[in-house]
Amino acid sequence: MQVDQHYFRGFVLTEQPITGQEIKTLKIGSYVLLHSPDLPVTEYKGERHLILLGYAVMEDISLSTRDILKMLDTNPTDQQALLNRMNGRYILLVEEDDLKVYPDATTLRPVFYHESLPIAASHSGLAAYVAKHHYEAAVAQYDGMINGYLDFSRYHHIYKLNPNTYLSLHNQQTTRFFPSEDYEVMETTTILQDTIRHFTAMRDWLRTQDTYLTITAGIDSRVSLAVMHDKTLPLLTYNSTAKLSAFAEQAYANDIRIVSDIISDLGLNHTLLQIDANQYISDETMDYARQFESFHSYSLSEKLAASDFRGKVHIKSTIFELAKLPVVPRYYVPDDFSFKEVIKRKKPEALTIDADEMIESYFRRADLTVAKARGHYLPDLYYQEQRMGNWHSNITQETDNSVEVFILLNTREMLRRVTSASLSDRRRKVLHREWINHFWPVLNFYPVNEQENLYTLYKEQQGSVEIEGDDVIIAGDQVVPKFPLKKTEVTFNLRNKGTEPCAVNIMSHYKNAAAVGTLSLQIADQCYPYQALTTGKSLVVEPDGVVSVTIKYNKLYDRESWQKAARLTIN
């Protein structure tokens, strides 16, 4: 069996060797690891046999990859804690009685596996090729691109390994090992101390590498730029010559306008790279694109491979979205998996599987239940495990022909910490602003995306209303009463801590015209049926003022459907 083409940083883990040009081979237990020469591989044999594909970094940056493997072998009871704190882009193989495959925190280095055959690989096409030629298994493709949805690949029965599970190659069973602690809201100061220490160590490691950083008008890349705080660091911004939607055109225009101001004012080292539509690429690049699960930008792959950036480590910022709220606030309800319905609605047309069957099979492979979520919000796990662990991982693989990738936040422990910030702080991007203020404060003075200038932002913040109440759950701009109900009236306050009057809009979502009087809302001394508030009710809260709001039920309900019926959106 000979591999059909060059897979950059490619590997296959299976039972028998594969022939091919310059393929390297390593035995681990009863399996054979085959990999291309451009994939770094580190081996350690102690009590167990450990192999790491790629690179890993700890806060103690003096530790080599082999040192890290030795620590994992010497302290098997601490393996979970060590795995949670490992940054980098890697796959860890641990051979004991079984061979287990562990991905990094967002499967930034991809792992595809066959549902029933002992095959794991860097590319779904490689896994499919081995299944077909070695096991004579029929491997059909979906009729269309799946584009990183859930854990699906473009082949039937071949899946992307979830970043919070490990794969037992003996039986192709996936087992969840993260979250390993119950969710709790942490103090912002504690989160900042821990993350700043981590970022500082990662910056010190990056300064030993040949790096560049992509920068946009968004606040995520602004954080990475602040952490690096280096005027000589090569910066890169993309501009597309392809036909784009109005939204995409505006986003690119904002990037160029705001980044140009930052570069000009601070005298930074910047390149603007024009990328073309996928149809304007060479036949060689199109052949390379056969390996991918995505069609993000084959032009970018081609141009980076021919540029001065080739061979560098690309500092990306994508995962910082998790320090904000990557999903609308109303789905942030403890132990609530209703967000499954949203996930089902995003199913691509190429997946002809029944939506309910599809979502349940995905949750089985992800080994994810309410109990195993340990109180962590499903939207955050979804974003880490699917959006980052499959979609983002796939588009990152497109540039494996030219650059390596690093993300400051790609550790499970740091992801746990940033998602443990209060929902209010996350919604207001408090962590982002504080990180920037610590590392390079001037970057907080520039607008983000389409925001106004600093003076306008300052004026907006003079009127700042907060929602307060012990008997309600506050999730961003969403408020629901806590259940079970203890009384028929649930009160909370709107408090203006600013120095200017602030307008507030309260909107209900309960439209049952036959149930007027069942739910009502008292705002100060006025009472309204919920049905009259579905278009919103505005009021002004004076500086240092408090407005009392009371949700009123006509009787003491015990069904939790009445909790959702009383949901309010407050802007």
Instruction: Dump pLDDT digits (tens) for 74-120.
Output: 987 888 999 999 999 999 999 988 999 999 999 999 999 999 999 99
Higher confidence at residue 122 or residue 334? Answer: 122
Distance of CA 344 to the CA centre of its chain: 18
Q: Are 362 and 265 within 8 A, CB to CB? A: no
Q: What is the pLDDT of residue 456?
A: 61
Which residues, including other chains, have CB under 8 Å from residue 396's CB and lie 6 or more apart?
A: 108, 316, 405
Integer Cα distance of 175 and 113 in angstroms: 14
pLDDT score for 458: 57
pLDDT at 402: 93
Between 498 and 440, name the one with better pLDDT. 440
User: What pLDDT does residue 464 have?
Assistant: 75
- Burial label for 232, CB within 10 Å (0-12, 13-18, 19+), is exposed
Residue 179: cis peptide before it, omega within 30 degrees of 0: yes
Element (H, E) at 190: helix 188-206
> Does residue 151 surpass a pLDDT of 60?
yes
How far apart are alpha carbons 253 and 391 in whole angstroms? 25
Residue labelled with tokens 């599987």: 353
Sheet of 120-121: strand order equals: 24-28, 31-35, 11-14, 120-121, 112-114, 158-160
Supply the pLDDT for residue 495: 92
Q: Cβ atoms within 10 A of the Cβ of 283, count?
A: 7
CA-CA distance, 108 to 91, in Å (whole number)?
9
- Before 17, cis peptide (omega within 30)? no
User: Residue 284 has what pLDDT?
Assistant: 87
For residue 381, report the phi and psi dihedrals to the nearest 5 degrees: -65, -40
Distance of alpha carbon 147 from alpha carbon 350, whole angstroms: 10
The span from the CA of 160 to the CA of 153, in Å, is 7
pLDDT at 2 over 90: no
Q: So what's the pLDDT on residue 368?
A: 96
Position 269 scores a pLDDT of: 96
**Alpha-carbon distances of 29 from 26, 37, 113, rounded to whole Å:** 10, 21, 18
Other beta carbons within 10 angstroms of residue 457's beta carbon come to 14
Taking the C-alpha atoms of residue 2 and residue 20, their distance in angstroms, rounded to an integer, is 5
Output the DSSP codes for 236-265. Answer: EEEEE-S---HHHHHHHHHHHHHHHHHHHH
* pLDDT in the model for residue 1: 42
Q: At what angle do helices 219-228 and 430-439 cross, to 10 degrees?
A: 30
The residue behind tokens 């080292």 is 269
Residue 363 region by backbone torsions, left for phi larger than 0, else alpha for psi between -120 and 50, else beta: alpha
The pLDDT assigned to 558 comes to 86
User: Quick one: pLDDT at residue 451?
Assistant: 66
Q: What proportion of the chain, given as a percentage, has pLDDT over 70?
A: 96
Per-residue pLDDT, 294:
86
Question: So what's the pLDDT on residue 461?
Answer: 57
Question: What does the alpha-carbon distance between residue 333 and residue 513 come to, in Å, rounded to a whole number?
Answer: 27
Q: In this structure, what is the dihedral angle of CA atoms 553, 554, 560, 564, given to the nearest 10 degrees?
A: -50
Secondary structure of 521-566 in the HEC alphabet?
Answer: EEECCEEEEHHHHCCCEEEEECCCCEEEEEEEECCCCCCCHHHHHC
Percent of the chain with pLDDT over 90: 74
Answer whether 149's CB lies under 8 Å from 386's CB: yes
Structure-block tokens of residue 131 = 């299944």
Residue, of 395 and 279, whose pLDDT is higher: 395
Per-residue HEC secondary structure of 277-332 comes to CHHHCCHHHHHHHHHCCCCCCHHHHHHHHCCCCCCCEEEECHHHHHHCCCCCHHHC
Q: Can you tell me the distance from the alpha carbon of 218 to that of 274, in angstroms, rounded to the nearest whole number?
A: 19
> Residue 454: is its pLDDT beyond 80?
no
Question: In sequence order, what DSSP letters do the residues of 17-83 get, joined into one string?
Answer: --B-TT-EEEEETTEEEEE-TTS-EEEEESSSEEEEEEEEE-SSTT--HHHHHHHHHH-GGGHHHHH
Average pLDDT over residues 186-214: 97
Angle (deg, nearest 10), helices 219-228 and 188-206: 60
Residue 2 β-bridge partners: 19
Across all residues in the chain, what is the average pLDDT? 91
Looking at 2-11, 53-62, 155-164, 304-313, which range is the least confident one?
Answer: 2-11
- Type of residue found at 112: F
The pLDDT tens digits of the residues spanning 327-382 come to 988 899 989 999 999 999 999 999 989 999 999 999 999 999 999 999 999 999 99
pLDDT at 240 over 90: no
Q: Which residue has the tokens 């028998």?
A: 16
Query: Is the backbone of residue 544 left (phi > 0), alpha (psi -120 to 50) or beta?
Result: left
